[in-house]
Amino acid sequence: MSTKRRLLMTLIFLLSLAPMALSQFVHGEYDLPGFLVLTTPVGFFACLFVLLGLWCPFSSSRTNRILCILGLPGMVAAELYTCLTWYAPAVLSLRRSLALVSPAFFLGLAASVAAVLLYLLLRRGAAGGDPAPLP
């Protein structure tokens, strides 16, 4: 994959992480930023997989693609998991979870979903016309 495409995908990924700087989880006087998502094992490894998939030169470009395909939806899964469990990891309650998140959470979730879709579109476009597909 060309450096230009890697930089574009890295920029898209970083922009999808930008809403995490906002206060996403609200409980009384506590306003917790969305970076809480990256403290979960799924969020940490998903972020790591995306960066490795984009920038590490593996012997097979298929490995790069698999890491990105695991990492980007993994970020969406980590955000949903954090939404459901940030206040009490042993209790899963959709009603309580949705009552305790701010609109910034939904902005971050939409940005992560958009990053997945843009990656798939860029990958499909690269496979059709460019001889060097995205990882």
At 64, list the tokens: 């790069």
At residue 70 the predicted structure's pLDDT band, cuts being 50, 70 and 90, is very high
Range 89-124 burial, b when 16+ CB lie within 10 A, else e: eeeeeeeebeebbbebbeebbebbbebbebbeebbe
pLDDT exceeds 80 at position 23 = yes
In this structure, is residue 135 part of a structural domain?
no
User: Could you give the number of structural domains in the chain?
Assistant: 1
Averaged pLDDT of the chain:
85
Tokens of 132: 């060097």
Give mean pLDDT, residues 60-84.
92
Between CA 110 and CA 112, with CA 84 as vertex, the angle to 5 degrees is 20
Q: How many CB atoms lie within 10 A of CB 8?
A: 14
The pLDDT assigned to 131 comes to 43
**99, part of any domain:** yes
In a domain, 15, yes or no: yes
**pTM for this structure?**
0.82
| Domain hosting residue 113, numbered range | 3-129
Residue 104 lies in a domain: yes
Residue 29: both structure tokens together: 């006087």
